A and B are shown apart, each in its own frame.
Chain A
C-alpha cells in the first residue's frame, strides 16, 4: 500500500491510508435524503456502482475532470438537495480551476470527496504529475474553507455528517490505497442519465 507514492515526494499530511470502496459504502450509508452522488471517471464511479445502484447516483464514463462541475451544476439546479462529487486526485489535478469556481460561488449543498492515491490507477498506476500535491491546501486557497484531510475512517464519517448540514461547500480528502475497484459500472450513458434524472424527480425534455 505504501508503495503508491513512487515519486518519493513528501506528503503534506499524515492521514491514514484507507480504502475507497469501504469509504464509499460508509458515505452512502449516511445518505437518508436522496442526496445526489456523482462518481468521477474510473474507479471512483466503479466503487460507487458497487456500493449499490441508488437512482440518485450518476456514473461519469468519460469527460475526465468534470465530476465536480457536473455535481456543482446539479447543486445549482436543486439547492435543497445535497450533492456529492467523488473524484480521484488525478482527475482533480486535471481540472483544478473548478475549485476556484466552486469557492467563488460557494454552493452550500455541495461536497467534494477526493480519493487520493497519488496514481493514475486505471491507466496502469503511473504516479500523477504531483503525488504530493496538498489538495486540501489548494482547495482552501481557492476559497473552499471547509476542506480537510480525513485522518481515519471515524473522522471521515464525522466530516461527511458535518457536510450534510448544508454549510458547504466542503471538500474531504482521503488517502487511499491502490486496490482496484470491486466492480465495473454498466456502460450505458443514456440509461445512466435517465435513471439519474428520475432519481432527482426530473422529467427529461420537460426541464
Chain B
C-alpha cells in the first residue's frame, strides 16, 4: 500500500506521480507487489476498462481496481462476454483488459478465433494460471494444458510471467505492441509470480 499512497491518489497518469518521469520504462515502477505493478502498468498505458470473471488469485487486483476511479471495472457473467465488451470498447476508442482464470480461458477460443483475431482487436487478456505447480483439482490441471496450444494455434502472442522483476517491462511493452500491431496478447500469470491457489487456501 505504501507505493499507492506515494502516488497520492493521482488518477490521471501513473508516471506523473513518480518524480516526473516522462513515461514508465523497465523497472521504474515503485509498486512492490504483482497486483500493484499490473494496476500501475494498465494506468500508464491508459487502459481504463477492466472486465473480469473472478479468481481468488486476482482478489487484491480486483479490489484495487474498484477502489481507483481511473478504472471502469465490473464482473461479466462469462469470459467470452467480457471479450465481447472490451472488443466493443476498443472499437469505440477505449482500451480494455479482461481478467480470468485458466478454466475461464477454456470458454473463449471461439471469441478469439471468430472475433478478436480476424478483426485485429488488441485485447489484453490476463489469466491467472491454475493447473500447475501444486494444483489440487484435476479439472483445472487438464484445462491448463489446452491453453497454450490454443493460443499458439491462433498465433496469439502469449507470455508466461514468473518473475516480479520482469513483470512491469513485460506487461508494459506487450500492451504497447498489442496496440501498435493491432493484435491481442495473453498474459499468463504463473503461481511463481502470484503464489497461485493452494489446497485449502
Residues of A whose CB lies within 8 Å of any CB of B are: 36, 38, 58, 60-78, 81, 95, 97-98, 100-101, 104-105, 189-190, 192-193, 196-197, 200, 202, 204-205, 207
Quick one: CB contact mask for B142-184 with A, threshold 8 Å, 1 for yes? 0000000000000000000000000000000000000110100
Contact of A71 with B78 at beta-carbon distance under 8 Å, contacts A190-B120, A193-B120, A207-B93 already known: no
Contact of A76 with B81 at beta-carbon distance under 8 Å, contacts A62-B110, A189-B119, A207-B179 already known: no
Chain B minimum-CB-distance residue to A100: B77
Shortest Cβ distance from residue B163 to the other chain A in the assembled complex, whole angstroms:
30
- Interface check B106, CB cutoff 8 A: no
- A74 to B74 Cα, complex, angstroms: 15
Quick one: CB contact mask for B81-101 with A, threshold 8 Å, 1 for yes? 111111111111111100000
Closest CB pairs A-B (n = 4): A62-B114, A73-B88, A77-B92, A97-B77
Having A73-B92, A190-B120, one finds 20 other A-B pairs with CB under 8 Å, namely A62-B110, A63-B115, A69-B83, A70-B84, A70-B91, A74-B91, A74-B92, A77-B89, A77-B91, A81-B92, A95-B78, A98-B78, A100-B77, A189-B118, A193-B91, A200-B91, A200-B93, A204-B120, A207-B93, A207-B95
Q: List 7 A-B contacts (CB under 8 A).
A: A62-B115, A69-B76, A73-B96, A76-B85, A77-B90, A95-B81, A196-B91
- A137 to B144 Cα, complex, angstroms: 38
- Interface check B111, CB cutoff 8 A: yes
Q: Which of B111-128 contact A (CB under 8 A)?
A: 111, 113-115, 118-121
Which residues in A have their C-beta under 8 angstroms from that of B82?
A: 69
- A65 to B119 Cα, complex, angstroms: 16
Shortest Cβ distance from residue A207 to the other chain B in the assembled complex, whole angstroms:
5
- A197 to B89 Cα, complex, angstroms: 11
Q: Is the CB of A190 within 8 A of B74?
A: no
Q: Is the CB of A98 within 8 A of B81?
A: yes
Contact of A63 with B91 at beta-carbon distance under 8 Å, contacts A73-B84, A95-B78, A205-B179 already known: no
Chain B minimum-CB-distance residue to A76: B89
Shortest Cβ distance from residue A165 to the other chain B in the assembled complex, whole angstroms:
21
The SS class assigned to the A binding surface is: helix
Q: Is the CB of B88 within 8 A of A61?
A: no
Q: Is the CB of B111 within 8 A of A202?
A: no
Q: Is the CB of A205 within 8 A of B182?
A: yes
Q: Is the CB of B49 within 8 A of A69?
A: no
- Interface check B80, CB cutoff 8 A: yes
Central interface residue in A64, A77, A81, A205, by most chain B CB within 10 Å: A77
- A71 to B85 Cα, complex, angstroms: 7
Q: Is the CB of B88 within 8 A of A72?
A: yes
Which residues in B have their C-beta under 8 angstroms from that of A36?
A: 92
- Interface check B72, CB cutoff 8 A: yes
Q: Is the CB of A69 within 8 A of B81?
A: yes
Q: Is the CB of A202 within 8 A of B179?
A: no
- A138 to B79 Cα, complex, angstroms: 21
Contact of A97 with B84 at beta-carbon distance under 8 Å, contacts A61-B118, A200-B93 already known: no
- A170 to B59 Cα, complex, angstroms: 32
Q: Is the CB of A74 within 8 A of B110?
A: no
- A57 to B146 Cα, complex, angstroms: 35
Contact of A101 with B81 at beta-carbon distance under 8 Å, contacts A200-B92, A202-B93 already known: yes
Which residues in B have their C-beta under 8 angstroms from that of A190?
A: 118-120
Q: Is the CB of B92 within 8 A of A98?
A: no
Q: Is the CB of A74 within 8 A of B77?
A: no
Which residues in A have their C-beta under 8 angstroms from that of B49?
A: 73, 76-77
- A61 to B111 Cα, complex, angstroms: 11
Contact of A61 with B92 at beta-carbon distance under 8 Å, contacts A66-B80, A69-B81, A205-B180 already known: no
- A98 to B77 Cα, complex, angstroms: 7
Q: Is the CB of A61 within 8 A of B114?
A: yes
